[in-house]
Structure 1
Amino acid sequence: MNLDDVLYRYFGSRSLDEVGESARAAGVEKMLVDLGLSRDRGQRFALWSILYMFGEAPDLEVAFPDPADRDAARDFMDLMARADEAPGT
């Protein structure tokens, strides 16, 4: 998944700076629906990751039936936390 394409698909813009609050909420809702419907592990992880960055991701147990996918999501969460703690951020 290309991030620019994902942003355009769900928010109608490739720049989140151009997205209003109502469009953002609608895009997040569409992403949550697609996450629930998708059976492709890679797509589910990509959608969940973006939702996580928006603070809208569902619980790991809900999003990922496979324990390995939950572990990968926890690793992603740890990486994001470390990035927030990095000097200069």
Structure 2
Amino acid sequence: MDLDAISHHFFGTTDIDTLDPTALAAGRDRLSLAFGTEREPGRRFALWAVLRATGEAPAPHLAFKDPRELRAAELYASVLRQSETSED
């Protein structure tokens, strides 16, 4: 799954940081709806990762029931937290 393609599809741009609050909220709404209805695990994870990047993803334990998907999401979130902490 191409994260740039997801960003462009749901937000109209690959640079989400340039969006005004209204456009960001609208994109998040569209993305959340797609995440909630997606059944293919790889695509679902990619949608969740973009939601996570925008600060709107559900916690991994709420988003994923499959143990492997849950573990992958927890690891991804952990790496992002470490990255954010090391940038400070």
TM-score by length of 2: 0.86
Match of 2:6 in 1: 6
Between 1 and 2, higher relative CO (CA 8 Å, sep ≥ 6) is seen in 2
Q: CA deviation at 1:42?
A: 0.5
Across the aligned residues of Structure 1 and Structure 2, the Cα RMSD in angstroms comes to: 1.6
The size of the alignment, in residue pairs, is 88
Aligned amino acid, residue 12 of structure 1: G
What secondary structure does 2:56 align onto? coil
Number of the residue aligned with 2:40: 40
TM-score by length of 1: 0.85
Matched-pair identity in % = 33
Alignment of 1:79 onto 2:64: no
Contact 2:45 2:73 in 1 (8 A): yes
Q: CA deviation at 1:13?
A: 1.6
- Offset of residue 81 of structure 1: 1.4
Aligned mates of 2:32, 2:49 — CA distance in 1: 11
Name stretches of at least 5 consecutive residues in structure 2 with no aligned partner: none
Q: Report the equivalent of 1:68.
A: 68
Shift of 1:31: 0.8
Q: 1:17 to 1:56 in 2, by over 3 A?
A: closer
Instruction: Tell me if the contact between 2:3 and 2:46 (Cα under 8 Å) persists in the aligned partners.
Output: no
Q: What code does the residue aligned with 1:34 have?
A: A
